[in-house]
Structure 1
Amino acid sequence: MSDRVPDPVPVGRFLAEEIEAHGWTQAEFAAVLGRPVQFVSEIVNGKKEVTRESAAQIGAALGQTPEFWLSFQDEYLLSEQAKSTRTQQELSEVRRRARLNRLVPVATLRKRGVLVGKDLDELEEEVAELLELDSIDDDPAFHIAARRSNHDEPVSSVQVAWVACVRRAARKRTGVKPFSKSKLERLAAQLPTLLSSPAGFRGLPESFADAGLVLVYVEALPGAKIDGCAFMLGKTPTIALSGRGKRLDKVLWTLLHEVAHVILGHVSSDVLVETLDDQDETDDTENEADRRAGAWLLPRPLPTPPARIGAGWVETVASERRLAPIVIVGQLQQSQVLDWRTTLARNAPTVTGVLETW
């Protein structure tokens, strides 16, 4: 017998026709299978589904493959499912939820309080607003350029969500003066000494607003791997910090690096997101920003350290330059003079608490 694919009908009805075509009663067919008559009766009457085991037995008895009977049953069940308004509504909601989760990490944003919608319609409206979409089926209106060593790695939905939160926070900022490159350069040169303690970060948004920039903090989202970003929001240069790394020197370096991008004219409407510990060393733009940031941080090179670097030497050098001691430690770690596990970095000051007040 051929394994033809019939129009979708209940598998039990087709089985009854096949049994009759062989001239058997249900009892005789049950005996062929070595099964109780009730087993055959329940399949014929649609009370029991065909399993892998029973499909193999029925196929062996009637000259077909197990796959034929399983696919026959699935085709019928799927056709019935397609007729169910309730099922199709549920599947539509699954597709909508999947679309939302492809766009942004919904669970994470709910936990952060960014998304608070109680139903799917409200969530779609919130995500569309966050991503600046006319329709939830559109792609984000803004473009993200990632600076990192792996150029082929796509921008993730977590990174898109972080940037969207940054853009929304930046749009809320008021009192920003027209951009002044000279003011920003003066401020940048002062930042290393102004930020010699976590308290120095407290008034930074106002200082940047006076120079014509928006400065915001949006806590890093898990898995985003973003230290900061710089972009043009309309005609206003905007810098965002994620606080990733938490240490004063790490956040300071990120800030200086992003300021350098603005000063050097590297920013555009594309959001330039960066993972500063995973950069492409051949990227001239990044190297240029690093050199400018380094010149602000250390206008003159550090003195040659002693063979055994102690806290006293670090504090003396930091005091002479009016820098936080952890900045000196961080620079020595970066240049591999100090191990990343050095005890000199123990109890390093963090700035997360201050950034959260912005």
Structure 2
Amino acid sequence: MPIDQDPVGKLLADELEARDWSQGDFAAILGRPTQFVSEIINGKKEITRESAAQIAAALGTSAELWLSLQDQFLLAKQAKDAGTQTRLSGVRTRALISKHAPVELLRKRRILTATNLGDLAKQVMELYELDSLEDEPAFLVAARRANKHEDLSLLQTTWFACVRRQARRQPPAEPYSAKKLRDLARSLSQTLHTSEDFEQLPNRFREAGVRLVFVDAFPSAKIDGGAMYVDGYPVIGLSGRGKRLDKVLFTLLHEIAHILKGHVDEQHYIVEEIVDPHAGHGVQESEADDLAGELLFRSAFPQVPARIGGPWVDQVANQLGVARIVVIGHLQHKRRLDWRTTLAKNAPVVGDALETWK
């Protein structure tokens, strides 16, 4: 685009001079008042589509030419206007920020708190660990290189970044031990019977060299949990979606299984919705489901009667040493109980306990 583009009015005046036409002559040709031509030549009036077509008809050119000449001049003028360029720079920055982050959602969560654009950009770069807003988060680049078929949505990416941020604030107490993690996993269903039992879980995981964090589920984002490595240590993130004790427990065991199975490392991470095991999914998810199921019950689940009643559920829960809702949830997943069964009424939820992890 030419920076020193002549005003379209001057170019029109040159055309009239080349034809020995006065402004009055040209106005008469156009069927317009002389003032109309004068205002265009003096830059007081912009050429419209209609007037461009009339000028083109009179001069044997095209309407597009005159509209283009006018736009080139106005854009060149705008490019040299400092105030306009400052405003446009702000627009570009806000667009880059929005490419990375759901800003309003993160403001509501008090994750982003800046009130001016410059500080907001810094907070976004810190959250996603970017050197520039033009960059892509390194974990996305690494994951795409390792898993070409997997992409995260904006909300999944943001949830991942929030989990990583929380994890960095909680250094593990011990080096990671797969044996300690497996032993801990085997004890969870035996020790997590109430919401309060969940409150000290992060400390128990720190002793195994694993960081356990809670980042509340984002609206409309189907995220139950995730597993990843941060600074050489495994991290498990839970969203608490659904809040029901058995669902959160199974998600936790599922993510533990991903770590124990070696499905995650510095280059591979998992952010997921725990789907119905009957729905069919990849090999890693099947392996994680199977191991989570083994970790859930210390002994074989008893044969299920044709009619399932509360006393039988209580008996099995006592026999297996698990919360009553864990038995009910297992039967629901196995499709032996309807999801609307009255046996699940007043099921314990763990949302308040998860909030204490922050």
Q: For this structure pair, what is the TM-score category when the shorter chain's length is used for normalisation?
A: 0.7 to 0.9
- Once the two structures are superposed, residues 11-58 of structure 1 have per-residue CA deviations (whole angstroms, 9 ceiling, x without a partner) of 122222333444433334333333333333222221221222222232
Q: Say if 1:229 and 1:274, in contact at 8 Å, map to a contact too.
A: yes
The CA deviation at 1:175 is 5.6
Structure 2 partner of 1:352: 351
The one-letter code sitting in structure 2 at the alignment partner of 1:171 is R
Q: Which of 43, 53, 56 in structure 2 is aligned with 1:56?
A: 53
Measure, in 1, the Cα distance between the counterparts of 2:200 and 2:235.
16
Deviation at 1:99, TM superposition (A): 2.0
| 1:276 and 2:274 correspond | yes
C-alpha deviations, 1:261-294, integer Å up to 9, x for none? Answer: 2222332113322222289945222211111101
1:300 aligns with 2:300: yes
DSSP 3-state at the match of 1:232: strand
Q: Is the 8 A contact 2:167 2:235 kept in 1?
A: yes
Contact 2:253–2:292, Cα closer than 8 Å, also in 1: yes
**SS of 1:142 mapped into structure 2:** helix
Correspondence 1:109 to 2:106: yes
> How far 1:202 sits from its partner (Å)?
1.1
- Cα distance change of structure 1 residues 27 and 351 upon mapping to structure 2, 3 Å threshold: farther
- Is there any run of 5+ residues in structure 1 with no aligned partner, and where? none
Classify the secondary structure of the residue corresponding to 1:354.
Answer: helix
- Greater CA deviation, 53-62 or 277-286? 277-286
Deviation readout 1:157-180 (Å, 9 max, x if unpaired): 332222222112111114622333
State whether residues 228 and 265 of structure 2, in contact with CA within 8 Å, keep that contact through their aligned partners in structure 1: yes
Does the 8 Å CA contact 1:188/1:259 hold for their aligned counterparts?
Answer: yes
Gaps of 5+ in 2: none
Matches within 5 A, 1:1-358: 8-143=5-140, 145=143, 152=149, 154-174=151-171, 176-270=173-267, 271-277=269-275, 281=280, 283-298=282-297, 299-301=299-301, 303-306=303-306, 309=308, 313-342=312-341, 344-345=343-344, 347-358=346-357
Question: Compared with structure 1, are the counterparts of its residues 40 and 325 closer, same or farther at alpha carbon in structure 2 (3 Å cutoff)?
Answer: farther
Structure 1 counterpart of 2:301, one-letter code: P
- State the alpha-carbon separation in 1 of the partners of residues 322 and 34 from structure 2: 89
State the identity %.
52
Q: Which of 79-88 and 26-35 deviates more?
A: 26-35
One-letter code of the match for 1:303?
Answer: Q
Q: Provide the C-alpha distance between the structure 1 equivalents of 2:150 and 2:10, rounded to a whole number of angstroms.
A: 53
Q: Which amino acid aligns with 1:195?
A: L
Q: Alpha carbons of 1:178 and 1:51: their partners in 2 closer, same or farther (altered >3 Å)? A: same
User: How far, CA to CA, are the matches of 1:278 and 1:223 in structure 2?
Assistant: 18
Query: Could you state the TM-score of these two structures normalised by the residue count of structure 2?
Result: 0.85
Residues 1:7 and 1:313: Cα distance change in structure 2 (over 3 Å): same
Q: In the aligned structure 2, how far is the partner of 1:112 from the partner of 1:123?
A: 14
Q: Is the 8 A contact 1:213 1:237 kept in 2?
A: yes
* Structure 1 residue matching 2:53: 3-state secondary structure: helix
Tell me, in whole angstroms, the C-alpha distance in 1 between the residues paired with 2:116 and 2:259: 41
Distance in 1 (CA, whole Å) between partners of 2:314 and 2:47 is 78
For residues 53 and 293 of structure 2, the distance between their equivalents in structure 1, rounded to whole angstroms, comes to 73
Is the Cα–Cα contact under 8 Å of residues 172 and 211 in structure 2 kept in the other structure?
A: no
SS in 1 for 2:137: coil
> What is the letter of the counterpart of residue 167 of structure 2?
A
Which range moved further: 335-344 or 41-50?
Answer: 335-344
CA distance in 2, matches of 1:39, 1:332: 83
Give the 3 Å change call, closer, same or farther, for CA 40–154 of structure 1 in structure 2.
Answer: farther
Q: State the shift of 1:310 in Å.
A: 5.3
Deviations, residues 103-122 of structure 1 (Å, cap 9, x unaligned) = 22223222211122232222
Query: CA offsets per residue over residues 191-227 of structure 1, 9 Å max, x none?
Result: 1232222222111111111222111111123354322
CA distance in 1, matches of 2:194, 2:3: 77
Q: Cα gap change, 1:323/1:40 in structure 2, threshold over 3 Å: closer, same or farther? A: farther
Q: Which moved more, 1:316-325 or 1:94-103?
A: 316-325
Number of corresponding residues: 350
Q: 1:350 to 1:6 in 2, by over 3 A?
A: closer
Deviation at 1:253, TM superposition (A): 1.2
